[in-house]
Amino acid sequence: MLQVNNIEVVYMNVIQVLRGVSLDVSDGKIIALLGANGAGKTTTLKAVSGMLRTEEGEVTDGSIDFDGERIDRYGPEDIAAMGISQAMEGRRVLEHLSVEENLLVGAYCRKDRAEVKRDIERVFNWFPKIKQLRRQMSGYLSGGEQQMLVIGRALMARPRLMLLDEPSLGLAPLLVEEIYEIIARINSEQRMAILLVEQNVRAALGIADYGYVMENGRVVLDGPAEKLKDNEDVREFYLGLSAVGSKKSYREVKHYRRRKRWLA
Amino acid sequence: MTFFLQLVVTGFALGMIYALIALGFVIILKCSEAFNIAQGHFVLIGGYLGYTFLVTFGLPIWGTLLMAILTAIIMGLLIERLILRPLVGQPVLAVIMVTIALATVLGGLATLIWGAEYKAYHGLLPTINLQIGSISVPSESLIGLIVSIVTVAILMLFLRYTKIGLAMRATAEDLQVVQSVGIKATTVYAVSWVIASIVGVIGGILLGGVSGANMELAEIGLKAFAVVLLGGVNSIGGAIVAGIILGMLENVAAGYLDPLLPGGGLAKVFPFIVMIIVLIFRPYGLFGLVRIERI
């Protein structure tokens, strides 16, 4: 459904962030995009959603196709209207609007009012915690509730592909688990594809079908989630499960290189 | 006492017009975080448009308002398309600078078209005399009051209940989020500039009815600015309350303080003195948006 073909992204004409990233999202699948800070995960999402333009970034090479249509020249509004919706990093709720108004904003592109009303109820069904708070100003919600609201808002557009940027950011482990369960449920109920950017690899690989690992603007590793979970590097540097258990030394150059890949 | 009440009533009507004009400020400020320096010049254009439609074309007051609103819509759309669209995503300061340029251009246009002359047309407004007890309400004030209350009410309902109104309030919060759900920022900006020019132009016609159209109408922008600061820059309700307060203060000061000082003019300064005193104690204005801090 979504193909990202070897894209390069440059900010302000000089700062190259992505150096040839390719990935593939097929219908109804959850794809995880993992990697260290500054690897280019969020930039990849922004390239897909068209959000680069307001930040003076540009896709200089390669192409992004959605359902066979090339979208890397479109603006964010057009891309959103095509059925890709993004839940941005950092719980960006519209603070002075009520919970319900936030959800309505998400449904802005839709014309079917009755269905929108039903969808609001459906979102409250998925996230019962925010249902009682529907008339509250969303800026006063707790972090977890705000994250739920942001995901709910992205769902209101009835997207075919949802881009989720770090839904676990700053949330307690139990809450992360809860939100991930709901994401998995939404994915299976709605047959909606999800491209998930995440630092919490354990949580992400728990629900993903396929994963890509990025580093310095490139995809360095990819494979089915099960395989990635068993991958020696991922286990050691990301999940913190030292397979070797032996003393680590920088003299082992090979190990150092592997380590650098993750912590660069 | 009658004298005082008389001043308060006319001040209330005047204040409502200030509030109306100040709303133009608030709308632009909420959407693009920039002060629209040209707001006073919308008022200026409005004053002269009132003269053109009422005197030159001989239209009735409702026809004049309708035509002026149409002109304002075109003006707002042109301003957004030609001047502000290239500045989407640019620093706020650039937008403010461009509104200074816009103010100068509008002032120049008014001089070109109407010759910067004093044009009076208050005789052409319908006369409605309202007598409440011993107070008589002059018809310019009454018309001003009715028109501005209706406009403000329509505007508030528009922002509260329509889809584009919701989009405008959302844009005020976070531009990127709004773009990510498919709302076109340019549409929102266009609508906000159209609203700003409509309220400015209507305010201009109403004030022109009281004092005649002249280049000094542009200074009302400064007064509207004081209203916005006093009410709290982000608050529509605040702008209305502050507008009424300033209008009343100005009128009462004109009645009681001006005779005390040879040469007069104290009335014009008095509202600003009050504004400064209030801002010392409430720096965000009377109803400024509370920054949400979660505990």
Domain ranges of chain A: 2-230, 231-264
Q: What is the pLDDT of residues A192-217, one digit of tens each?
A: 999 999 988 888 999 999 999 998 88
A27 touches chain B (CB under 8 A): no
Average pLDDT of the residues in B249-274 = 82
Average pLDDT of the residues in A59-80 = 90
Question: Is 60 exceeded by the pLDDT of residue A127?
Answer: yes
A94 vs B174: CB contact, 8 Å cut-off?
yes
Question: Is 60 exceeded by the pLDDT of residue A264?
Answer: no
Contact B172, B30 (CB under 8 A): yes
Among A81, A92, A95, select the one facing B182 at the smallest CB separation.
A81
**Region of A65 on the Ramachandran plot (φ > 0 left; ψ -120 to 50 alpha; else beta):** beta
Supply the DSSP symbol for B84.
Answer: I
Question: Whole-angstrom Cα distance, residue B31 to residue B233?
Answer: 12
ipTM: 0.81
Would you say residue B244 lies in a domain? Answer: no
The residue whose two tokens read 């082992």 is A252
CATH of A2-230, one of 3.40.50.300, 3.75.10.10, 3.40.30.10, 3.40.190.10: 3.40.50.300
Q: How confident is the model at residue B20 (pLDDT cuts 50, 70, 90)?
A: very high
Query: What percent of chain B lies above the pLDDT cut of 70?
Result: 97
A80 vs B181: CB contact, 8 Å cut-off?
yes
Mean pLDDT over the full length of chain A: 86
Average pLDDT of the residues in B238-267 = 85
Question: Is 90 exceeded by the pLDDT of residue A65?
Answer: yes
Contacts of B185 in chain A (CB under 8 A): 77
For position A263, what pLDDT does the model report?
Answer: 58
B179 vs A54: CB contact, 8 Å cut-off?
yes
Average pLDDT of the residues in B78-82 = 93
A59 three-state secondary structure: strand
B173 vs A94: CB contact, 8 Å cut-off?
yes
Contacts of A97 in chain B (CB under 8 A): 166, 169-170, 173
Average pLDDT of the residues in B72-78 = 95
Q: How confident is the model at residue B216 (pLDDT cuts 50, 70, 90)?
A: confident
Q: Please, which residues 56-95 of chain B have a Cβ atom closer than 8 Å to chain A?
A: 88-89
Inter-CA distances, A92 with A89, A147, B266, Å? 7, 8, 48
B181 vs A97: CB contact, 8 Å cut-off?
no
For position B78, what pLDDT does the model report?
Answer: 95
Mean pLDDT over the full length of chain B: 87
Query: What percent of chain B lies above the pLDDT cut of 90?
Result: 38
Contacts of A106 in chain B (CB under 8 A): 181
B181 vs A109: CB contact, 8 Å cut-off?
yes
Question: Whole-angstrom Cα distance, residue A64 to residue A22?
Answer: 9
Neighbours of B244 (CB within 10 A): 20
Would you say residue B8 lies in a domain? Answer: yes
Contact B226, B233 (CB under 8 A): no
For position A229, what pLDDT does the model report?
Answer: 85
Q: Looking at per-residue confidence, does B122 or A195 come out higher?
A: A195
Question: Is 70 exceeded by the pLDDT of residue A36?
Answer: yes
A223 touches chain B (CB under 8 A): no
A140 touches chain B (CB under 8 A): yes
For position B284, what pLDDT does the model report?
Answer: 82
Q: What domain count does chain B have?
A: 1
For position A43, what pLDDT does the model report?
Answer: 92
Range of the domain at B202: 2-217
Inter-CA distances, A52 with A1, A48, A55, A57, B88, Å? 21, 9, 5, 5, 14
Question: Is 70 exceeded by the pLDDT of residue B45?
Answer: yes
Q: From the CA of B172, how many Å to the nearest CA of chain A?
A: 9
CA atoms within 13 A on the CB side of B27: 30
For position A22, what pLDDT does the model report?
Answer: 93
Would you say residue B88 lies in a domain? Answer: yes
Would you say residue B57 lies in a domain? Answer: yes
Task: Give CA A51 to chain center in angstroms.
Answer: 14
For position A255, what pLDDT does the model report?
Answer: 63
Nearest residue in B to A49, CA atom: B180
Query: What percent of chain A lies above the pLDDT cut of 90?
Result: 42
Contacts of A56 in chain B (CB under 8 A): 89
For position B135, what pLDDT does the model report?
Answer: 80
For position A253, what pLDDT does the model report?
Answer: 54
For position A250, what pLDDT does the model report?
Answer: 53
Average pLDDT of the residues in A141-153 = 91
Q: What is the pLDDT of residues A38-51, one digit of tens each?
A: 889 999 999 999 88
Question: Is 70 exceeded by the pLDDT of residue A128?
Answer: yes
Q: What is the pLDDT of residues A88-97, one digit of tens each?
A: 888 899 988 9
Q: From the CA of A255, how many Å to the nearest CA of chain B?
A: 41
Q: From the CA of A248, how many Å to the nearest CA of chain B?
A: 43
For position B134, what pLDDT does the model report?
Answer: 79
Contacts of A136 in chain B (CB under 8 A): none
Would you say residue B143 lies in a domain? Answer: yes
Q: Looking at per-residue confidence, does B277 or A55 come out higher?
A: B277
Average pLDDT of the residues in B82-86 = 89
Contacts of A140 in chain B (CB under 8 A): 292, 294
B179 vs A109: CB contact, 8 Å cut-off?
no
Among B167, B183, B292, select the one facing A139 at the smallest CB separation.
B292
Determine which of B73-87, B114-128, B243-257, B281-295 has the lowest per-residue pLDDT on average: B281-295
Q: From the CA of B193, how many Å to the nearest CA of chain A?
A: 20
A172 three-state secondary structure: coil
Inter-CA distances, B270 with A84, B107, B266, Å? 56, 27, 6
**Which one of B85, B87, B161, B177 makes the best mutation probe of the A interface by having the most chain A beta carbons within 10 Å?**
B177
Q: Where are the alpha helices (DSSP H) in chain A?
A: 41-49, 76-81, 99-106, 113-126, 143-155, 173-190, 201-207, 225-230, 232-233, 253-263
For position B179, what pLDDT does the model report?
Answer: 86
Question: Is 60 exceeded by the pLDDT of residue B59?
Answer: yes
Nearest residue in B to A96, CA atom: B173
Question: Is 70 exceeded by the pLDDT of residue B207?
Answer: yes
Question: Is 60 exceeded by the pLDDT of residue A246?
Answer: no
For position B289, what pLDDT does the model report?
Answer: 66
B181 vs A101: CB contact, 8 Å cut-off?
no
A1 closest CA partner among A62, A69, A63, A49 = A69
B180 vs A95: CB contact, 8 Å cut-off?
no
